[in-house]
Amino acid sequence: MNVIEVKGVTKDYPLGKTTVHALRGVDLTVEEGAFMSIIGPSGSGKTTLLNIIGCIDTPTSGSVKVHGDEITELEDKKITDLRLHKIGFIFQTFNLIPVLNVRENVEFPLLLMKKHSKGEITARAEKLITEVGLMEYIEHKPAELSGGQRQRVAIARALVSNPDIVLADEPTANLDSETSESILELMRELNEKEKTTFIFSTHDPEVLKYAKNIVKIRDGHILGQG
């Protein structure tokens, strides 16, 4: 079953008097449980594609279906709900909430859902914090953590709500190799156990090693999917 279906997607950005064509008619299907890496040089459109799949950007034209929902037709509230319940995000620059500690940052998506008990939220958050190896920093604020530690918190936050899809833009770019490996192991474990679909962009050949599917992108075109 396809969790993502992208057909003829284009994305243009106006830049002064010119237009940047970030995506030029992209077709892509992602099956449930995929562990997919999107690779391409800088400016190839991989981040734009991730953003569109993740419903945080809209295409100029084309169709994007996430779990069968045509996201280009959804109103903002439903798209936000979709992001909250179905998609987890890992940003290149961590993007944690500065005033919340590690525990609270990880708990944040569950609290937004308003469907779990306090006990469930705490247990789920602590499990993931332990898995990313930050239990001893659980009460620390982001400013008190290293870059790598912050990214691990971001990964824990992305996974805490058991999303169907996790989108990660260069997830290990700021992690040391040991942590990168443990994180990729964790992601793969979740991918296998929970059938969580992972799509991530990367330059890291180590990350590519873990990918089951690789999509090559250049100048807004998909060159190949395998």
Which residues contribute to the site for other proteins (CB under 8 A)?
47, 51, 54-57, 76-77, 80-81, 83-85, 88-89, 91-93, 95-100, 104, 108-109, 111-114, 118, 157-158, 169
Q: What is the closest distance, in whole angstroms, from the C-beta atom of residue 75 to other proteins in the complex?
A: 11
Q: What is the closest distance, in whole angstroms, from the C-beta atom of residue 224 to other proteins in the complex?
A: 26
Of 75 and 136, CB closest to other proteins: 75
Report the candidate in 60, 54, 71 with the shortest Cα–Cα distance to residue 14.
Answer: 60
Of 154 and 207, CB closest to other proteins: 154
Q: What is the closest distance, in whole angstroms, from the C-beta atom of residue 117 to other proteins in the complex?
A: 9
Of 152 and 157, CB closest to other proteins: 157
Of 21 and 212, CB closest to other proteins: 21
